[in-house]
Structure 1
Amino acid sequence: MIGNPAHCAAITVSDAGIMTGIGLNGSTLFDPQGKVSRAQFLALAMKTAGGDVSGIGQGTVIVFADDGDIPAEYRPYVIAAYNEGMISVPDGNGKDNFDPRGNITVSDALVMLGGILKTEKPVVKPVFAGSDSLKGELADVVSGLYAAGIIDSAENLSSELTRADAAVLLCRALERK
């Protein structure tokens, strides 16, 4: 990762026990271009915010239609976030799907992170790269994250979040705790 802009962020979140490398051929690598699943990012963001899921059991029922697809290691985080109103993902058919194994987009990660950190909509809407194209809840959340210093632009929101992107977001959130 030397030379990668996310190098320091990766070290910071790793040292904090939030995000670690992945095993590959007997080595542990960070894999900065690797993708992050929705359930994985939720767990990482909750760890960053200091979320405690120790009392939540695996058998606790939640309402997502794809509840059975949530990996056991992330299930307590999804349950806690849902119960606290941090996540809700209606799919248009009247059922809620979380898509826990799907790669998370930058915009979905920002909405999730904003909900977990409880960022507030700034009184005066800031102007920054990409802010003019934002609408509704996304505009409020992204403006709040920008005002908090967690993001510096609203570009590439439809891209899938990489591990490097996640490390930078989580590192900036940690710095503001």
Structure 2
Amino acid sequence: MKTRILTAAALTAALLTAALPASALFLDQEETSPTVLDVVKNGMATETIAFQSSDFVVEGEGALDAIVITQLPEEGILTVGGQMVGEGDVIAMTAVDGLRFTPSVTPTALEASFTFQPLFADGEPGQEVGVEVHLLTEANGAPVAENLELSTYKNVAVTDRFSAVDPEGDLLTYRLVKKPARGSVTIGEDGQFVYTPYENKTGKDSFTYIAMDTVGNASDPATVKVKIEKPDTKVTYADLSGHPAHKAAIRLAEEGVFVGECMGGEYFFQPDAAVTRSEFVAMAMNAAGVESLEGVFRTGFADDESIPTWAKPYVSSALKCGLVQGTTDDEGRVVFRADDSITTAEAAVLLDRVLSVTDVDAQTFAADAPAWAAQSAANLSTCGVLPAEAGLTETLTRGEAAQLLCAALDLLDSRDTGWF
């Protein structure tokens, strides 16, 4: 079978004789034209590296018909079916599985590169695409991506993070290979993504992603399952559209853990507001189902008079259960400091005690964790309650508290039963 490689002259003639519909001349290229992602491959520096049609990924609507080589690699040669490839040669996608890169006998670098211009089935050329070829001196394994499950509410976007492990610890990026049917996915930096349900959609959805390392290895596809539910609350927040804590705030209202302020007939969560120590004690206890004492007028702390009346039952119960211990003031008295803003580290210690999480290696969390909070931070991070990037010494905001407590509720639910 003869391999299809066209010269630049033959390509020009083919394009001139192609019958395009008149409407194709008026398409907005920026909005409608598909693009091909940059290609990254790897192989041993002493071996020939083979390409496959699956290496050439198209984003947008359109089918890739061929590629035109626009710049050759300096550290080796390209061939198709044993024929040398030159600049301007066109390789049909039906023949691209025969594309090979053979490194020089003594390469002077551990990377090679070349470029091509894609040609789509409608006859339109695309933007030039770069190809990186990493020449390895030792084997490099592919990452392993994890299947994920998440839930959200009707018309509420949810933020989460892809999860994958690379054998060499290489930096990973992520790409969708199958889009969801009931919503859309936007991929951000550091593996974060946002799933946004389509308007008024509920039910189950899913999408598939892969993880890729810096030398071009890709994981097997992993699936993210999504459950879109109708909230069991009438509370909606006017200030949370598009905020990462939106779903968590609705969950807290649904569970009766915390509801924001109602002003002018609308609810406001104020996600950037600082959370006080007394507020977080109450929220954590409500989330975990820890009952508070009734008829409490004194807590036993030296600053009892400054503790709000509504908070005293929670603070007294937390002290009795060993969830809080208080701190020592300048006069040596044990105080609670109810109205002080709580830090993420302080919240982590309290939440760890409430959830009774099994201890793990404390070194698994960031080095900036205070010694007294390191174990709790590691415990909560390991079970998915505390994000690894959390700033432990920073003041905890309402939005961050909502996400912590929502994750805690998920953990408590998982101890009882699975879902999906």
TM over 0.5: yes
- Which one of the candidate residues 65, 68, 73 is aligned to 2:302? 65
> Which residue among 303, 312, 317 is the counterpart of 1:80?
317
**Cα shift readout 1:121-171 (whole Å, capped 9, x = no counterpart):** 21x44635xx22335331111111112210121532222111100100000
Matched, 1:113 2:339: no
Structure ranking higher on relative contact order (CA contacts 8 Å, 6+ apart) = 1
- Comparing 104-113 with 92-101, greater Cα deviation is found at 92-101
Q: Distance in 2 between matches of 1:10 and 1:139?
A: 27
Q: Which has the higher helix share?
A: 1
- CA RMSD, aligned part only? 1.7
In structure 2, what residue type is equivalent to 1:3? G
Structure 1 partner of 2:405:
170
- Whether contact under 8 Å (2:384, 2:407) holds in the other structure is yes
Unaligned residue ranges in structure 2 (runs of 5+): 1-239, 413-420
- SS of residue in 2 equivalent to 1:73: helix
Query: For structure 1, which segment, 38-47 or 97-106, has the greater mean C-alpha deviation from structure 2 after superposition?
Result: 97-106
Distance 2:274 2:324 in 1: 20
Distance 1:102 1:26 in 2: 30
Counterpart residue type for residue 397 of structure 2: T
Verify the 8 A CA contact 1:56 1:80 in the aligned structure 2: no
Judge conservation of contact 1:106–1:157 (CA < 8 Å) in 2.
yes
The residue number in structure 2 matching 1:52 is: 291
- Cα 1:35–1:152, aligned 2, differ >3 Å: closer, same or farther? same
Aligned-residue identity in percent: 32
Select the residue among 24, 29, 43 that pairs with 2:263. 24
Moved more, 11-20 or 87-96: 87-96
Give SS of 2:333's match.
coil
In the alignment, the residues of structure 1 paired with residue 390 and residue 403 of structure 2 have an alpha-carbon distance, to the nearest angstrom, of: 15
Could you say what secondary structure the match of 1:165 adopts? helix
Question: So what's the TM-score if we normalise by structure 1?
Answer: 0.89
Q: CA deviation at 1:26?
A: 4.5
**8 Å CA contact retained: 1:126, 1:147:** no
Q: Distance in 1 between matches of 2:333 and 2:325?
A: 10
Higher strand share: 2
Distance 1:39 1:10, change over 3 A: same
Could you say what secondary structure the match of 1:74 adopts? helix
Distance 1:137 1:119 in 2: 16
Partner Cα separation in structure 1 for residue 334 and residue 368 of structure 2: 27
| Aligned equivalents of 1:154, 1:76: Cα separation in 2 | 33
Q: 1: CA distance between counterparts of 2:317 and 2:389? A: 28
Deviation at residue 91 of structure 1 after TM alignment: 2.0
What is residue 104 of structure 1 aligned with on the other side? 342
Distance 2:313 2:364 in 1: 37
- Equivalent residue pairs, number: 172
Cα separation, 1, equivalents of 2:321 and 2:310: 19
The alignment partner of 2:314 has SS state of helix
Q: Distance in 2 between matches of 1:77 and 1:113?
A: 14
Structure 1 residue 63 displacement after superposition: 2.5
Question: Is residue 383 of structure 2 the alignment partner of residue 148 of structure 1?
Answer: yes
Distance 1:80 1:154, change over 3 A: farther
Contact 1:6 1:167 in 2 (8 A): yes
Whole-angstrom CA distance in 2 between matches of 1:32 and 1:13: 13
Distance 1:94 1:120 in 2: 33
Q: Paired residue for 1:139?
A: 374
SS at match of 2:308: coil
